[in-house]
Chains A and B, each alone.
Chain A
Amino acid sequence: MASRQFATFEVDGQLFGVEVNTVQEVLSYNEYTPVPLAPPAVGGLFNLRGQVIAAVDLRVQLGLARQALQGPVMNVILRGDGEPVSLLVDKIGEVVDLDDETFEPPPDTLSGPTRELVVGTFKLDGRLMLALDVNQAVDTYRATN
Chain B
Amino acid sequence: MEDLGEIVGEFLMESHENLDQIDRDLVSLEQEPGSRDLISRIFRAIHTIKGTSGFLAFSRLEKLAHAGESLLSRLRDGVQPVTPETITVLLLCIDGVRSILASIEENGSEAEVDIESMIVRIKAQMDAPTDAAAAAPAAAEAAPAAGAEAPASVEQEAPAARPAPEPVSDQRQPLGQMLVDAGAAQPSDVASALQQQIEGDERKLGTILLEEGKAAPTAVNEALQSQAPKRSIADSAIRVDVDLLDTLMNMVGELVLARNQLVRGVMEIGDSGLVRSAQRLGMITSELQEGIMKTRMQPIEHIWSKLPRVVRDLSNSLGKQVALVMEGKETELDRSLLEAVKDPLTHLVRNAVDHGIEEPERRIASGKDPEGTLTLRAYHEGGHVAVEVADNGAGLNVERIAQKAVENGLLRPEQIPNMDKRDIMAMVFQPGFSTAAKVTNVSGRGVGMDVVKTNIENIGGAVSVDSTPGEGTVWRLTIPLTLAIIQALTVDCADQRYVVPQVAVLELVFIDGNTTKVEYASGAPVYRLRGKLLPLVRLDRALGLEVGGDQGVYIMVLQADGRRFGLVVDRVLNTEEVVVKALNTRFKDIGLYAGATILGDGKVGLILDVSSLARRSHLAVDSERETVADKRGQQGGGTERLLVTAVGERRVAIPLDTVTRLEEFPRDRIEHAGSREVVQYRGQILPLVRLSHLLGAYGEELEGDTVSVVVYSEGGKSVALVVDRIVDIAENSTTARRDAEEDGLVGTAVIQQRVTELLDVRRAILAADPNFYSDSMDDMLVEA
Q: Cβ of A46 and Cβ of B543 under 8 Å apart?
A: no
Q: Cβ of A50 and Cβ of B604 under 8 Å apart?
A: no
- Taking the complex as formed, is B496 at the interface, i.e. its CB lies under 8 A from any CB of chain A? yes
Tell me, in angstroms, the Cα distance from A47 to B578 when the chains sit together: 14
A36 touches which of B497, B544, B602 (Cβ 8 Å): B544
Interface residues as binary, A129-144 with B (CB distance below 8 Å gives 1, 0 otherwise): 0000000000011000
Tell me, in angstroms, the Cα distance from A39 to B593 when the chains sit together: 14
Least CB separation from B589: chain A residue: A141
Interface residues as binary, A18-41 with B (CB distance below 8 Å gives 1, 0 otherwise): 000000000000010111111100
Q: Cβ of B544 and Cβ of A140 under 8 Å apart?
A: no
> What residues of A have a CB within 8 angstroms of the CB of B472 in the complex?
none
> What residues of B have a CB within 8 angstroms of the CB of A34 in the complex?
496
> What residues of A have a CB within 8 angstroms of the CB of B61 in the complex?
none
- A60 nearest CB across to chain B (Å): 14
- Taking the complex as formed, is A83 at the interface, i.e. its CB lies under 8 A from any CB of chain B? yes
Q: Cβ of A46 and Cβ of B604 under 8 Å apart?
A: yes
Interface residues as binary, B582-607 with A (CB distance below 8 Å gives 1, 0 otherwise): 01111100101100111000111110
- Taking the complex as formed, is A128 at the interface, i.e. its CB lies under 8 A from any CB of chain B? no
B586 touches which of A37, A44, A50, A140 (Cβ 8 Å): A140
- Taking the complex as formed, is B312 at the interface, i.e. its CB lies under 8 A from any CB of chain A? no
Q: Which B600-628 residues have a C-beta within 8 angstroms of A?
A: 602-606
**Contacts A38-B590, A45-B596, A50-B257: A33 and B604 contacting too (C-beta < 8 A)?**
yes
Q: Cβ of B603 and Cβ of A35 under 8 Å apart?
A: no
> What residues of A have a CB within 8 angstroms of the CB of B585 in the complex?
83
Q: Cβ of A38 and Cβ of B587 under 8 Å apart?
A: yes
B602 touches which of A35, A47, A54, A85 (Cβ 8 Å): A47
- Taking the complex as formed, is A52 at the interface, i.e. its CB lies under 8 A from any CB of chain B? yes
- Taking the complex as formed, is A51 at the interface, i.e. its CB lies under 8 A from any CB of chain B? yes
Interface residues as binary, B559-577 with A (CB distance below 8 Å gives 1, 0 otherwise): 0000000000000000000
- Taking the complex as formed, is A77 at the interface, i.e. its CB lies under 8 A from any CB of chain B? no
> What residues of A have a CB within 8 angstroms of the CB of B784 in the complex?
37
- Taking the complex as formed, is B740 at the interface, i.e. its CB lies under 8 A from any CB of chain A? no
Interface residues as binary, B243-285 with A (CB distance below 8 Å gives 1, 0 otherwise): 0000000000110010000000000000000000000000000
Q: Cβ of B545 and Cβ of A33 under 8 Å apart?
A: no
> What residues of B have a CB within 8 angstroms of the CB of A117 in the complex?
none
- Taking the complex as formed, is A62 at the interface, i.e. its CB lies under 8 A from any CB of chain B? no
- A12 nearest CB across to chain B (Å): 24
- Taking the complex as formed, is B581 at the interface, i.e. its CB lies under 8 A from any CB of chain A? yes
- Taking the complex as formed, is A118 at the interface, i.e. its CB lies under 8 A from any CB of chain B? no
- Taking the complex as formed, is A42 at the interface, i.e. its CB lies under 8 A from any CB of chain B? yes
> What residues of A have a CB within 8 angstroms of the CB of B253 in the complex?
50
Interface residues as binary, B534-555 with A (CB distance below 8 Å gives 1, 0 otherwise): 0000000001110000000000
Q: Cβ of B604 and Cβ of A52 under 8 Å apart?
A: yes
Tell me, in angstroms, the Cα distance from A53 to B584 when the chains sit together: 8
Q: Cβ of A36 and Cβ of B596 under 8 Å apart?
A: no
A35 touches which of B254, B257, B581, B606 (Cβ 8 Å): B606
Q: Cβ of A54 and Cβ of B605 under 8 Å apart?
A: no
Least CB separation from A82: chain B residue: B585
B587 touches which of A46, A47, A51, A54 (Cβ 8 Å): A54
> What residues of B have a CB within 8 angstroms of the CB of A39 in the complex?
586
> What residues of B have a CB within 8 angstroms of the CB of A83 in the complex?
584-585
Tell me, in angstroms, the Cα distance from A39 to B584 when the chains sit together: 13
> What residues of B have a CB within 8 angstroms of the CB of A52 in the complex?
581, 583-584, 596-598, 604
Tell me, in angstroms, the Cα distance from A42 to B586 when the chains sit together: 9
Tell me, in angstroms, the Cα distance from A37 to B541 when the chains sit together: 11
**Contacts A47-B598, A50-B254, A50-B257: A33 and B605 contacting too (C-beta < 8 A)?**
yes
Tell me, in angstroms, the Cα distance from A84 to B606 when the chains sit together: 18
> What residues of B have a CB within 8 angstroms of the CB of A44 in the complex?
604
Tell me, in angstroms, the Cα distance from A83 to B581 when the chains sit together: 12
> What residues of A have a CB within 8 angstroms of the CB of B598 in the complex?
47, 50, 52
Least CB separation from B250: chain A residue: A50
Interface residues as binary, B195-208 with A (CB distance below 8 Å gives 1, 0 otherwise): 00000000000000
A51 touches which of B545, B581, B586, B603 (Cβ 8 Å): B581
Tell me, in angstroms, the Cα distance from A83 to B585 when the chains sit together: 9
> What residues of A have a CB within 8 angstroms of the CB of B583 in the complex?
52
Q: Which A31-89 residues have a C-beta within 8 angstroms of B?
A: 31, 33-39, 42, 44-47, 50-54, 83, 85
Interface size on A, residues (CB 8 A): 22
Tell me, in angstroms, the Cα distance from A130 to B581 when the chains sit together: 35
> What residues of B have a CB within 8 angstroms of the CB of A47 in the complex?
598, 602-604
A37 touches which of B254, B497, B592, B596 (Cβ 8 Å): B592
> What residues of A have a CB within 8 angstroms of the CB of B603 in the complex?
31, 33, 46-47
- B636 nearest CB across to chain A (Å): 32
Q: Cβ of A33 and Cβ of B602 under 8 Å apart?
A: no
Tell me, in angstroms, the Cα distance from A53 to B597 when the chains sit together: 11
Q: Cβ of B496 and Cβ of A33 under 8 Å apart?
A: yes
Tell me, in angstroms, the Cα distance from A140 to B593 when the chains sit together: 17
B584 touches which of A50, A85, A141 (Cβ 8 Å): A85
Q: Cβ of A37 and Cβ of B590 under 8 Å apart?
A: yes
**Contacts A31-B602, A46-B604, A51-B581: A36 and B587 contacting too (C-beta < 8 A)?**
no
Tell me, in angstroms, the Cα distance from A38 to B603 when the chains sit together: 18
Least CB separation from B493: chain A residue: A36
- B568 nearest CB across to chain A (Å): 15
Q: Which B473-529 residues have a C-beta within 8 angstroms of A?
A: 496-497
Least CB separation from B783: chain A residue: A37
Q: Which B393-422 residues have a C-beta within 8 angstroms of A?
A: none
> What residues of A have a CB within 8 angstroms of the CB of B605 in the complex?
33
- A76 nearest CB across to chain B (Å): 16
Tell me, in angstroms, the Cα distance from A89 to B604 when the chains sit together: 20
Least CB separation from A39: chain B residue: B586
- B29 nearest CB across to chain A (Å): 49
Tell me, in angstroms, the Cα distance from A39 to B598 when the chains sit together: 22
Tell me, in angstroms, the Cα distance from A33 to B602 when the chains sit together: 11
Least CB separation from B784: chain A residue: A37
Tell me, in angstroms, the Cα distance from A54 to B125 when the chains sit together: 66
Tell me, in angstroms, the Cα distance from A54 to B606 when the chains sit together: 12
> What residues of A have a CB within 8 angstroms of the CB of B544 in the complex?
36-37
- B527 nearest CB across to chain A (Å): 23
> What residues of A have a CB within 8 angstroms of the CB of B602 in the complex?
31, 47
> What residues of B have a CB within 8 angstroms of the CB of A33 in the complex?
496-497, 596, 603-606
Tell me, in angstroms, the Cα distance from A39 to B631 when the chains sit together: 34
> What residues of A have a CB within 8 angstroms of the CB of B592 in the complex?
36-37
Tell me, in angstroms, the Cα distance from A33 to B581 when the chains sit together: 14
> What residues of B have a CB within 8 angstroms of the CB of A140 in the complex?
586
Q: 17 other contacts beyond A36-B544, A42-B586, A52-B597, with CB at 8 A cut-off? A: A33-B604, A34-B496, A35-B606, A36-B496, A38-B587, A45-B584, A45-B604, A46-B604, A47-B598, A50-B253, A50-B257, A51-B581, A52-B583, A52-B596, A52-B598, A83-B584, A85-B584
9 A-B pairs with least C-beta separation: A36-B543, A45-B604, A33-B604, A54-B584, A37-B784, A52-B596, A52-B581, A50-B254, A37-B590
What are 29 A-to-B residue pairs whose CB atoms are below 8 Å? A33-B497, A33-B603, A33-B604, A33-B605, A33-B606, A34-B496, A35-B587, A35-B593, A36-B496, A36-B545, A36-B592, A37-B543, A37-B544, A37-B590, A38-B590, A44-B604, A45-B604, A46-B603, A47-B602, A47-B603, A50-B257, A50-B598, A52-B581, A52-B583, A52-B597, A52-B598, A54-B586, A83-B584, A83-B585
